[in-house]
Amino acid sequence: NIKNMKRDEIFKFIENYLFNFCGIEFEINEKTNIKNELDIDSLDMLELIIELENEYKIDIDDEIFIELKTIGDIVNYVIDLL
């Protein structure tokens, strides 16, 4: 189904960003908690927002995005905007 394909694609996009630009060196999944498990700062999060907006041609609300707790929450939020 197209939604699951998009879900996997968005997750891989986020995973790639975290590995390549934030220096994350361990396996992540949709349950990974952004604030507690990943040592990324607000600048990295802002950059991720910009990358997602550019890649998927969406408009992300920064205030909502900051409240998201897990990688899965981000994936769901992006899917809802598509």
Q: Which residues are catalytic?
A: 41
3-state secondary structure 22-73: CCCCCCCCCCCEHHHHCCCCHHHHHHHHHHHHHHHCCCCCHHHHHHCCEHHH
